[in-house]
A and B are shown apart, each in its own frame.
Chain A
Amino acid sequence: MYFTEELLDQSREIMKKWEDEVRKIVSTVPDQKARWSTVSDLEIKRLYTPEDIKDMDFARDIGVPGEFPFLRGNQATGYRGRHWTFRMFSGMGTARDTNRRWRLLLREGQTGLSTAFDFPTLMGYDSDSPKARGECGKCGVAIDTLEDFLTLMDRIPMEQATTSMTINPPATVLWAMYCAVAELRGVPLSKIGGTIQNDMLKEFIAQKTLMCPPEPSVKLISDTVEFGAKYVPRWNTISISGYHIREAGSTAVQELAFTLRNGIEYVEDVIRRKGLDVDDFAQRLSFFFNSHIDFFEEICKMRAARRMWARIMRDRFKAKNPRSWWMRFHTQTAGCSLTAQQPYNNVVRTAIEALAAVLGGTQSLHTNSLDEVLCLPSEQAVEIALRTQQIIAEETGVANTIDPLAGSYFIESLTNKMEEAAWEYIHKIDDMGGMVAAIEKGFPQTEIADAAYAFQRQLEASEKIMVGVNKYTTARDQVIPRVGIDDSVEMEQIERLNAVRRKRSHQAVRRSLDDLRNACKKENNVMPYCIEAVKNLATVQEICDVYREAYGEYRDPGYY
């Protein structure tokens, strides 16, 4: 127990007096609202006291950083040894355009790379597919073949910089390209580091970049986990992502619960399908969270996430290596909290969200640019976003001590509350037979839709405030420069793709795609075949068509 009976009695006495006082004041100065809640509608009390955390146990529930349950961080020394990785998500136009942006960011002090791919690449189509019309290079970089990938990685030191790739259905293909570039440059696979997002379950419930149905999608992920465990030991083969769940409108608790439950599903599949021991791969699982505008809710969500995952890995999966109990995560500030109205306000929102992520103990961070609600980030906007992280790291002093908010009645109570609410969801999904089964029933999809709709209603009723949207609005527009991707990028990219098609050996492409097809049929690991195919200059779509043919195509059922 955290407090003695005596102390609790004392505090109850003091509280009683205070409550009397509050009643008096409220009778003359009533509260501005009848009910106070977080942005995801968790109810918040006027005051928190020892009573709210009396059932906690310091050793069991809080502890110190670097020790189970890791509530206070994985690293015993926090940010003193090293800051979080400054990893700005970027990608636009062609591989050359994106390479230029990457090198700018590295020059300005970014410490890790992160790629945004355009929609055709994300969905496994080539730039000249009829489905890709109008999309090429718009929301990220267009990659069709290994040639594009070589351009993307031009002058990027693969042995030093780690690269995060936001890629899901075609994750095997893009990772195969990264591996192939390393091999061509003579860098051993054991030396390259980075992350592929590679989390399909959240795609079905949130982001909707879709290719094959849930079950074979999980199989492809297990292939990458197995291949990584054997040959690419510094690579995070999955980034189990709550970010998009939140952007799709979930609450913080839903983000926490669905992300962790997806994580459980992947671990179960790798153990069952590949026969690996949990300690063989658990250290290469990583996570990705959203940092929304409700400061304390976000900090508590991240603390709870770390503690829950430690409990899941140790108690549910019986992992023995303490490093398997670590939840390592990247955070991005909330795109959905930004406003098109008065866009300069977004700098302030992003700074607060970034601060929450740092106080929540993130290991890697992307700060959104002020213009991202309107267009791709301009160089100036992305620089301000990067500087935001640098100011937090270097000037504010918040990283001087580890988990400074621990022990706060409010913080610990809210952390516990989020954990409890998330377990409830996890147990419910367990009862449904797991996440794949829950997705097939539409359960997480409709829960998120309910939350998104409820939030929108609160916004329209001004129960929740967005400055510049439903309060302090102004007729004066803040005009900001906007980056656009010219439609000529599409023509250029298609020409480049055709040039590759002309020069490659059709026989080699056909043979490697046949080999991949056979591997799919036999349920073999697809990775070695995928690497062979990309080396022979097979395109993203040609490889993904093999998957679509072998495993079937999934269509969004459109839950709302």
Chain B
Amino acid sequence: MAQRKIRVMVAKPGLDGHDRGARVLARCFREAGFEVIYTGCHQSPEQIATAAMQEDVDLVGLSCLSGAHRHLFPKVVELLREQGAEDIIVIGGGIIPDEDFKMLYNAGLKAIFTPGAPLATIVEWVRNHVVPRS
């Protein structure tokens, strides 16, 4: 039986509307052969966690450029954990200062990609770290 495709959700939490990176990444994931869901802007962490579970995704990629990632990213991980979906991998991207990396990794984020990260690197990371759930 063919292996299921990797299912990813690209999500924009909070009020930030700078979605160029998220849109480009969503399209890149699609071209890489993943199944992609893009939430659009202005999703609350609750909406993102619920959608991720309903859509049964393997990975959630969060994008934020406003500086609110310190609050928003950990919240998504926490909500997934609370609902027993801790196996959904969460990664983040956007304008994230280096000094926040540790805090985000401690909160359960598995990777952080900042401006200039090549799309190929992100796709490769996903291929290496995500096994489609059966």
Which A residues have a C-beta under 8 Å from some C-beta of B? 119-120, 122-123, 125, 130-135, 138-139, 203, 207-210, 247-249, 336, 339-341, 373-375, 449, 452-453, 456, 460, 469, 482, 484-485, 487, 555-560
Contact = CB atoms under 8 A, between A and B. Distances in A.
Interface of B: 10, 14-20, 22-24, 26-28, 38-42, 44, 66-72, 95, 97, 114-116, 118-120
A110 B87 CA distance: 53
B20 A485 contact: no
A122 B69 CA distance: 18
B24 A138 contact: no
Contacts of A453: 23-24, 27-28
A249 B24 contact: yes
Contacts of A341: 116
A375 B96 CA distance: 9
B73 to A, nearest CB: 10
B39 A208 contact: no
A452 B20 contact: yes
Max chain B C-beta neighbours (<10 A), residue from A123, A133, A558: A558
A336 B20 CA distance: 10
Contacts of B70: 134, 487
A72 B70 CA distance: 48
Given A122-B15, A249-B20, A452-B24, 10 more contacts: A120-B15, A135-B67, A207-B17, A248-B20, A341-B116, A452-B20, A482-B97, A484-B97, A556-B17, A556-B42
Contact of A134 (B20, B40, B42, B72): B72
A207 B24 CA distance: 15
Max chain A C-beta neighbours (<10 A), residue from B10, B23, B119: B23
Contact of B42 (A248, A375, A555): A555
Contact of B116 (A133, A138, A209, A469): A469
B15 A132 contact: yes
Contacts of A336: 20
A61 B119 CA distance: 44
A131 B10 CA distance: 19
A290 to B, nearest CB: 13
A131 B15 contact: yes
Contacts of A207: 17-18
A134 B14 contact: yes
Given A207-B17, A208-B17, A484-B97, A560 B115 contact: no
A119 B66 contact: yes
B15 A135 contact: yes
A279 B117 CA distance: 50
A207 B23 CA distance: 13
A339 B120 CA distance: 19
Given A133-B71, A139-B67, A558-B39, A119 B24 contact: no
Given A208-B41, A453-B27, A558-B41, A460 B119 contact: yes
A135 B115 contact: no
A556 B116 contact: no
A134 B100 CA distance: 14
A65 to B, nearest CB: 36
A449 B21 CA distance: 10
B115 A339 contact: yes
B49 to A, nearest CB: 15
Nearest to B17: A208
Contacts of B24: 249, 449, 452-453, 456, 560
Max chain A C-beta neighbours (<10 A), residue from B22, B28, B40, B120: B40
B115 A460 contact: no
Given A132-B15, A208-B19, A375-B97, A558 B40 contact: yes
A373 B95 contact: yes
B26 A210 contact: no
B15 A123 contact: yes
A374 B38 contact: no
11 contacts: A119-B14, A125-B15, A138-B67, A209-B17, A210-B41, A336-B20, A375-B97, A452-B20, A452-B23, A555-B40, A556-B17
Contacts of A135: 14-16, 66-68
Max chain A C-beta neighbours (<10 A), residue from B26, B42, B71, B118: B42
A442 to B, nearest CB: 12
B42 to A, nearest CB: 6
B26 A560 contact: yes
A27 B26 CA distance: 43
A340 B24 CA distance: 18
Contacts of B119: 456, 460
Contacts of A339: 115-116
A519 to B, nearest CB: 27
Contacts of B42: 123, 208, 210, 555-556
B27 A449 contact: yes
Contacts of B120: 460
